[in-house]
Structure 1
Amino acid sequence: MAQAGMRELLEKALAEEKDISPSDRMFFHNGEMYPTIICCPGTLKILDTFEARSDDVILVGYPKTGTNWVGQILVELEAASGKYDEKERKKRSMQQREKELSLFPYLEFGDPGKFERMKQLPSRRVIKTHLAPQRLPKSIFQKKAKILVLFRNPKDTAVSYLHFSNSMKLFPTQKTWDEFFSDFSSGKVPYGLYFNHIIEWNKYLDDKNVMFITYEEIKENAALGMKRMVDFFDFSVSEQEIQSIVDKTTFKAMKDRASETHGEIAKNLFRKGIVGDWKNIFSEDQNEEMDRKFEESVARTKLGMMLKYDEYCKC
């Protein structure tokens, strides 16, 4: 259901993007860059008015680390955990759909009025965001809502980010790979430098309400990854239900349903969904530069080690 709001937002944005002048495609808020096509300055200005609930299911991930995929997994797990009978499920689905059509599932996307509308959503709400921890609404931490933080190896993240940015026309002009790599490596992209997100989340390693997981970990063993999510969020889901959700949320299964769930923007969201695609694009110099920056910034942190950089980012 939440996908409907996302679909409407992005389809409307794509239809209107030709009217946005190159100089207006990005804006800055608190020193960080955001794309005009999906974010609104007014929404970011009142972000702290968002009222979290203790049972909210929060998913945080830097752009193109897999939040669309893992977000759908969480929606499926929450629905299975609710154990609604078919009549109640349909009723709840209709109510949720009507409300979420005007919501948008990413916290910072859409218009400022969304936070009032979010108060009307039934629990448990599955909420996604690309924001770094220091930019999240304070109520999330005050209410002790549980946060799942998703990471992906930085090389695949960069490649996926380039394709999404160009297909969605986030920037004033189309970027070549070399241009985008330079921007990504220096943090001149929406949401800033990826390594800074890793550095900031290292401060929450001892927070029992924060769980860390990687895209690669879920790709290797989706059932095991889901069991970790189930335990963390206290979902009540059987082994059989987990396996059913594993099958329903494979990349192929989601891509096959993409036109139904995401409409015209599906082609911009579902590309390859594999690990290691960076090997087809990175030059030797770019490999060395990324390796050096990773080593200098986060390699020795606990989260940096959790990324298994040597396994996923070395030839």
Structure 2
Amino acid sequence: MDKSRKTVVEYLDKILADSEKAAPEDLLFSYKGILYPATLCSPETFQVLDSFEARSDDVILVAYPKNGNYCYTNWLDQVLNDLEITAAKYTEEEIKKRINITNELSVFPRLEFGDPEKFKRMKELPFRRIIITHLPPQVLPKSIFKSKAKILLLVRNLKDTAVSYFHFYNNMPTLPSFGSWDEYFTAFMHGKLCWGSYFDYLVDWNKHVADENVMAITYEELKENQTLGLKKTADFFGFSLSEEEIQTVAEKSSFKAMKEKSSKTPGAFGEIFFCKGGVSDWKNLFNEDQNQEMDKTFEELLARTKLGAKIKYEVYCKA
């Protein structure tokens, strides 16, 4: 096992051990009305979040939990790294050096994860940074918008997001489980989950989706034509890759390839991180009342917005 993989596994195993020791009521904390997992985030880190200094060349990926489905640190995390490394033509030695520096500075996936001192350490990273977060725009550090760093917004149809997050919640030791789908559905509709309401998340990001430094892409379009989706992403961030290089990255990041790698990379979390990766799984759990409730809420909040249209609700969320 290489050093980078070992470091991530050790980090995740520690989180698992801490979660197993914690009482259910201690697994979450609330910050400004939104719940977060206590073994991954801390109020102290959120209090100094604005000290993070974004760079104009930062690659920012934002997504509500389980929008990427494949894994908690997000499938697109690996994709963006592969695109950036391939475009920069890094040698194996240069890649190892980047990994070693990142590990030595203890900079792990997710902007909101870790200790309050992490933002000082992130300043020391001497290469282009790929920054992943679940945070809504009003919580993000102000420097991200001031810097004009490019932001890739990954969204997914609401019903599949709800189902994927339900399975994740009930399998992830860092989160309290729900006794039933019905209990969870109520929590989802009222935003009583970690990282808050997905409806609010989409409404808030809709205010920025027309910004020139923001590009929205859907999980569904990546599933339908992954190569085309990766080409759009590469073009947006200015990664110069050939058609052959794009295809190679697409093959490396296919669900099958990532699933096979999961048992080796995230260690004990492999089976938790990876789900079916499908579209329309929601039909197995939603009852008619729940369908109608979500349809009504979507119509009221998102139907006439740019992001609402992007999601293609009529295609993916209607029986």
- CA 1:217–1:5 in 2, change beyond 3 Å: closer, same or farther? farther
Structure 1 unmatched ranges of 5 or more? none
Aligned residue among 65, 75, 86 for 1:80: 86
* Count of paired positions: 313
**2:34 corresponding residue in structure 1:** 32
C-alpha distance in 2, partners of 1:37/1:163? 19
- CA 1:300–1:32 in 2, change beyond 3 Å: closer, same or farther? same
Cα offset for 1:3? 6.7
Cα offset for 1:176? 1.4
Cα offset for 1:173? 4.4
Within 5 Å, give how 1:65-144 maps onto structure 2. Answer: 65-66=67-68, 68-99=74-105, 102-144=106-148
Structure 2 unmatched ranges of 5 or more? none
C-alpha distance in 2, partners of 1:233/1:164? 30
Cα offset for 1:213? 0.5
Aligned residue among 249, 252, 255 for 2:256: 252
C-alpha distance in 2, partners of 1:43/1:5? 21
**2:299 corresponding residue in structure 1:** 295
C-alpha distance in 1, partners of 2:182/2:4? 35
SS across alignment from 2:94:
helix
CA deviations on 1:23-81 (whole Å, 9 max, x unpaired) are 21111111111111211111111110111111110000011101611111101001101
Residue identity (%): 55
SS across alignment from 1:260:
coil
**1:166 corresponding residue in structure 2:** 170
SS across alignment from 1:288:
helix
Amino acid at match of 1:308: K
Within 5 Å, give how 1:206-285 maps onto structure 2. Answer: 206-285=210-289
SS across alignment from 1:127:
strand
Cα offset for 1:143? 1.1
Cα offset for 1:19? 1.8
Residues 62, 132 of structure 2: 8 Å contact kept: yes
Residues 16, 174 of structure 2: 8 Å contact kept: no
Amino acid at match of 2:82: E
Aligned residue among 3, 13, 23 for 1:11: 13
CA deviations on 1:264-301 (whole Å, 9 max, x unpaired) are 11111101011111111111111111111111111111
C-alpha distance in 2, partners of 1:64/1:116? 29
**What TM-score comes out, normalization by structure 1 length?**
0.94
Cα offset for 1:122? 2.8
C-alpha distance in 1, partners of 2:32/2:98? 38
Cα offset for 1:306? 0.7
**1:179 corresponding residue in structure 2:** 183
C-alpha distance in 1, partners of 2:9/2:162? 24
SS across alignment from 1:295:
helix
C-alpha distance in 1, partners of 2:178/2:186? 14
Cα offset for 1:97? 4.3
Residues 59, 128 of structure 1: 8 Å contact kept: yes
User: Which structure is higher in helix share?
Assistant: 1
Cα offset for 1:20? 1.1
- CA 1:3–1:42 in 2, change beyond 3 Å: closer, same or farther? farther
Cα offset for 1:260? 2.1
C-alpha distance in 1, partners of 2:241/2:103? 23
- CA 1:8–1:19 in 2, change beyond 3 Å: closer, same or farther? same
